[in-house]
Structure 1
Amino acid sequence: MSLSVASSAPTLAPPPEIAPVGPVAPAAPLAAEPPRGVARPTVRVLHVVNGEHYSGAERVQDLLGMALPSFGYSVAFASLKPGKFGDHRRSVACPLHEVEMRGRWNLGVARRLAKLVRQEDYSLLHAHTPRSLLVAYLASRLAGVPLVYHVHSPASRDSTRRLANWSNHFLERGCANRADQLVTVSPTLTNHMRTMGVSPDKLRCVLNGVPPLTEEEARRRRKPIAPYTVAMVALFRPRKGVEVLIDALANLRSRELDVHLEAIGPFESAEYEDHIRSRVKKLGLEEHIHWTGFTDNVPAALARADALALPSLFGEGLPMVVLEAMAAGLPVVATRCEGTTEAILHRETGFLVEPGSVSQLADALEELFNGETDYPLMSLLARERHLDHFSDQAMARSLAGVYDGVLRQWAKK
């Protein structure tokens, strides 16, 4: 869901805190597969998405559209705010229906969505944001099909706007238990939803995943030499912490470390972009930061970097860009921020620092580049961890198991 932001640095402390958990928990239990040689009919699923942006959660939706057919589920999308998702998705074989929601409380769109479900014979609805959850819940009851809700990040910590956070939080809280099943992208979010009163029986964790790269795509990484390139890939908004990274870059350059920043992605608002560019100019870093804007080919962008930085202040589920960096064998320096800690093993596949700490971020990047770290080994361990835990096929297989269980329970009603 798109949220506007103020042009100044974030000052609000968004509630509530989320308790940390261990590195990786098991994904959803898999349903029994049909006997070999016995084909099962393909089930049609309609994913209800925002559609305005194409960032981490949207890449999950896109990858699921491409991967789920291998596990017996065909995917179509219904976009409530048609935009970049339709322009940049790779799942072009999946139908995309524009069911535009004209206004924040235009709930009449649920009737149009229910009509679409009946006309196209969809067996299941899958929502991805608090507002799409509300619309999809109403449509699911009108159309008589079950509903799955995907929790990509904590709604109460999505922005620095307290009112918007609480609005989304209470909307999600009010509708979550009405869904037939909830899917979270990390154990941290599973715990978070439990604290909101969601029944444990309704919660399944399906870890995000990205495709592995071929040996040709994932170049063998050796210890980098100066000038060093740090990449940050994001929809730039206050909670992503780019101000902290800019200050860390200035700190590193004051230590005479020749490091540059490749900032990849759009800004959420023109006001915030003006604020950040003014900060860069004030610090004299204009020649050392390259703003590349939006890209739909993140692996190619990461191939030009020596490290990925993710200095988020709060509000992460299980960041896709971290998994894409791991797939490419690119060491990550990130903050101890919710689901990020479940992907990165500190000092093995990357570094974890405290949110908002300029000095810790600068120190970790310096250690990565100055020879204290076995860079090639860290690169190798990152790739191995991706293959073991965070592939797109593992994600789709786990979600198909969730769908199987939901449809079995629905058939008993």
Structure 2
Amino acid sequence: MSRVVVWRSGLLAPSETFVRSQGDALTRWQVRYLGAVKVPSALARDDDVIVFPPGADERFLRLRVTGRSPRLRRMLAALGPDLVHAHFGGDGWLVSAAAEELGVPLIVTVHGHDVTRQPYAKGPKGVRHRRNLRTVFRRAAVILAVSEHIRRRAIEQGADPAKVRVHHTGVPIPPPPRAEKEWDVVFAGRFVPKKGLDDLLAALATLRDLEPRVLFVGDGPLAAAIRTRAAGLGVPVTFAGALDHASASAAMAAAKVFASPSRTAPDGDAEGLPTTVLEAAALGVPVVSTRHSGIPEAVVHGTTGLLGAEGDREALAAHLRVLLTGDELRERLGRQAREHTAGHFDLRRRTAALERLYDDVAGAAVTGGAAAGAGPRVPRPRTPAPPAPGPYR
């Protein structure tokens, strides 16, 4: 069975369930997860392979500055992969030199801020991000974008259009939920500017006559400001904080409407395609959102949910009102949202397509190496490699 190493430098932030879901859904490829440092979260696992132990900050900093690490190269070689799949452009750059030296083909998925915000930073930081993106785009065999919008932004940053393709990660399609609708409106996500929580609170403030039951799931740098803003507007929001994935899914299933009023942040940060939008739709919950980035690829206005312009608070309020007061429309859009997601974003089907891509890329690398008279793609390290715990999944 072929082997893929999934790389994320910080393994793994609690909001990045999409990385685990995609890797765990592989059936024909064995997967190992490799990270530079361990991130304490519910997504961390004992068999994750971590390059730098606690206290090795200087070595990790050297990798971040130079893009090279003998230790990373040795540990990657010890895993013996046929392919490396890195998430986010900057992280792809961190592992790209080691993969290239070992002759292992690299696939990089770009998700959002890596091509919408980071390259536009001012000064040396922006120069570095742009340079690193161009380098990893050159080294990668294929670049995956989570939406057409993100594909275009990757090309703007120097990616070869022939290398870049859209691949929607997808979500599991659960059995039809039977949850009671405990909440009228639920939001789930990080409390950051691109999520448009200020717009959502302003819209909810106009719906006091409906007395909506509102739940915000998540945390982030704007959490305190959002709580203060909700109190100032007199919007009675229940703040659940960060929840594990199962609890967050249960909260979404108990919603009449899922709100995701995303917008481009002042610093240029933009969504790719929010996983929560797909998860809510898979649960049969209609989505009220915006025509932002890849969201219109998942939410069909008037069929599976309702979309307005970014920052249009009046439209957001109107869409919430029409679904909260129109049971028949809300239920129809919810059914259609589930059907649409099952047809186009089923994690099993999307992962099967990804495995076919893995086959093509790994096969091309083997054929190309044989044609050039190359030796093994993953050479035996010169010095003993640190042990890699546990088997491939």
Do both proteins adopt the same fold according to a TM-score greater than 0.5, normalized to the shorter chain? yes
CA contact under 8 A between 1:125 and 1:145: conserved in structure 2?
yes
* Alpha-carbon offset, residue 402 of structure 1: 1.3
Pick the aligned partner of 2:87 from 125, 128, 148.
Answer: 128
Alignment of 1:199-348 (within 5 A): 199-215=160-176, 218-219=177-178, 229-253=184-208, 256-267=209-220, 269=221, 272-285=222-235, 287-297=236-246, 298-314=248-264, 315-348=270-303
CA contact under 8 A between 2:186 and 2:258: conserved in structure 1?
yes
CA distance in 1, matches of 2:199, 2:130: 27
CA distance in 1, matches of 2:205, 2:101: 56
| 1:371 matched to 2:332 | no
Instruction: Give the AA of the match of 1:263.
Output: F
CA contact under 8 A between 1:115 and 1:143: conserved in structure 2?
no
CA distance in 2, matches of 1:154, 1:108: 20
* Partner SS for 2:171: coil
* Alpha-carbon offset, residue 161 of structure 1: 8.7
Pick the aligned partner of 2:32 from 76, 85, 89.
Answer: 76
Match of 1:15 in 2: none
Alignment of 1:389-400 (within 5 A): 389-400=344-355
Match of 1:97 in 2: 49
Match of 1:35 in 2: none
* Alpha-carbon offset, residue 360 of structure 1: 1.1
CA contact under 8 A between 2:67 and 2:93: conserved in structure 1?
no
Match of 1:61 in 2: 19
| 1:351 matched to 2:306 | yes
* Partner SS for 2:84: strand
CA distance in 1, matches of 2:186, 2:126: 28
Gaps of 5+ in 1: 1-41
* Alpha-carbon offset, residue 46 of structure 1: 0.8
* Alpha-carbon offset, residue 220 of structure 1: 8.1
Q: CA RMSD in A?
A: 2.5
CA contact under 8 A between 2:105 and 2:141: conserved in structure 1?
yes
| 1:141 matched to 2:100 | yes
Distance 1:78 1:273, change over 3 A: same
Instruction: Give the AA of the match of 2:156.
Output: T
CA contact under 8 A between 1:159 and 1:239: conserved in structure 2?
no
CA contact under 8 A between 2:13 and 2:43: conserved in structure 1?
no
* Alpha-carbon offset, residue 365 of structure 1: 0.1
* Alpha-carbon offset, residue 357 of structure 1: 1.5
TM-score (norm 1): 0.79
Alignment of 1:149-164 (within 5 A): 149-158=108-117, 162-163=121-122
CA contact under 8 A between 1:260 and 1:288: conserved in structure 2?
yes
CA distance in 2, matches of 1:165, 1:156: 11
* Alpha-carbon offset, residue 107 of structure 1: 3.9
Match of 2:11 in 1: 51
Moved more, 349-358 or 102-111: 102-111
TM-score (norm 2): 0.82
CA contact under 8 A between 1:252 and 1:362: conserved in structure 2?
yes
Report % sequence identity. 28
* Alpha-carbon offset, residue 252 of structure 1: 1.4
Distance 1:135 1:294, change over 3 A: same
Instruction: Give the AA of the match of 2:244.
Output: T
* Alpha-carbon offset, residue 367 of structure 1: 0.7
Equivalent pairs counted in the alignment come to: 352
Match of 1:189 in 2: 150
Match of 1:401 in 2: 356
CA contact under 8 A between 2:6 and 2:32: conserved in structure 1?
yes
CA deviation digits over 1:320-355, x for unaligned, max 9?
111111110000001111101100000110011111
Distance 1:306 1:167, change over 3 A: farther
* Alpha-carbon offset, residue 117 of structure 1: 1.9
* Alpha-carbon offset, residue 73 of structure 1: 0.6
CA distance in 2, matches of 1:73, 1:173: 29
CA distance in 1, matches of 2:117, 2:187: 19
Match of 2:390 in 1: none
CA contact under 8 A between 1:152 and 1:317: conserved in structure 2?
yes
CA contact under 8 A between 2:185 and 2:258: conserved in structure 1?
yes
* Alpha-carbon offset, residue 170 of structure 1: 4.6
CA contact under 8 A between 1:241 and 1:312: conserved in structure 2?
yes
Distance 1:177 1:391, change over 3 A: same
